[in-house]
Amino acid sequence: MKIILATALVLTSLLFSFSDIEEETSFNIEVKRNGDMVLMKCNGACKWNNLSFKLKDKNSMVVNELGVYEKAAYKNEPGGSFSFYVNDSPNGLKFGSMALNGVN
């Protein structure tokens, strides 16, 4: 099992780079991978405590404070104070920032 820890410092710099965020919120998301399953635990600014999802072939998943969505459908989902995508890569998981309006 590969374990990846995403700390508040890394996520804060990655996710709170949008100009329409009025104040920063401190939080920590722990990420674990077990095969094609991704397990996340949030301490802080999330409306969820635990998330789990299966990575799909070449399809990114988007995580925000409200939950997890397929990237292709994210523009139709409710926004949140942060959002980032997760997809598979040869070396593990790849993370990137998402525009809060779902267009990226």
CA 78 to chain centre: 14
User: pLDDT tens-digit profile of 15-40?
Assistant: 444 444 456 667 789 999 998 899 99
Residue type, 5: L
Alpha-carbon distance of 94 to 87, in angstroms, equals: 5
User: Quick one: pLDDT at residue 40?
Assistant: 95
pTM of the model: 0.68
